[in-house]
Amino acid sequence: MSKEWKQALAGLAMVLPSFAILLVVVIIPILQSLMLSLTNETGGYDLSRYHVLFTDKGMRANILFTLRITVITCALVLLISYSLAVYMRFNQGPIVELIRKTYMIPLFIPGVIATYGLINLLGNHGWLARLLEHIGVTLPRIIFDEKGIIIANLWFNIPFTTMLLSSALAGIPSSVIESAKDVGAGRYRLFARFIFPLSYKTFLVALTFVFMGVIGSFTAPFLLGANSPQMLGASMQQVFSVFQEREQAAAMAFFTFLLCSVLGAFYIRSMAKEENVRM
C-alpha cells in the first residue's frame, strides 16, 4: 500500500468518529423531524403543518416575536461586546483590569439560576422594587415580557462574545495600529480600515453563535416571557407537551433549523469568499 493511501485511510479513520457522532446526534434527528413535520392528519405527507405556521395568527405572531427578539439581542450583544473588547484592547488602568476579572463570571452561573436571580431582582416584588419603594419610586414592568428575555440573553451571551472578540483584537499587531496613527488615521478611519476588517471573521463567528443561541433559547423565554406571543422554543414545548401535537412541534423545530441554516450559509459563503481572495 502506497504512502498516499495510508495517509488517506488514516485521515478517514480520524474523521469517521466525528462524522458518526454528527450523524447520530444531528443529521438523523433533523431528517426524522422533517419526515414527522410532513405528516398530515390522515397519515399522508404534505406541507399542511408549515401552512399553519404562516396562516395561524398565533403562530405567525410567535415567529415575528422570535425574530424581533433575536435581531435586537444580536445587535445589543455585538455592540456591547465589541465596545468592551475594543476598550480592553486599547486602554489600561484599574477599570480595564476590573472588567477583565469580572466579565467572564456569568459564564459560570447556570442559566436557570441566573434567570431565577433576574426574577428576584427585577420582579414586581424583587430586591430592586423594594429598594425603590423606600424613595417613592415604582419600578416599571421589566420582566415577563420581551424586555426580560432580552436582558437574560444579554447576560448569557455578552461574556462569551466579548471573549471571542477580545481574542481577535489581541491578535492585531500594535505596529499596524501605530503605523496607521503615524500617517494621520483618526479613530473612525482606524476602526473602519484596520480594526474591524482584521476582526471581521471573528465578528461573523460571534454573530452566528449569538443568533443560533437566542433563536433556539428556551429557559429565559419560558421563565421570563409572556404567555403570548412566545418565542419558538417556549411555543414548541407548549405545542408538544400541552396540545400533544408532535407533528406541528416538529414543523416548528425544522423551521427554526432552516432559520439558523440561512445564517450558517451566509457565514460559510463569507468565509469561502475570504479564502478565495487570499488565494
Mind listing the domains of the chain with CATH numbers?
55-278 (1.10.3720.10)
pLDDT over 70 at 275, yes or no: no
Mean pLDDT of 39-47: 89
The C-alpha cell of 17 is what? 468518529
Question: What distance in Å separates the CA atoms of residue 268 and residue 279, rounded to the nearest whole number?
Answer: 16
Mean pLDDT of 153-177: 91
pLDDT score for 137? 85
User: What pTM was computed for the model?
Assistant: 0.87
Instruction: State the pLDDT at residue 234.
Output: 92
**What CA–CA distance (Å, rounded) separates 276 from 107?**
36
At residue 51, the pLDDT reads 93
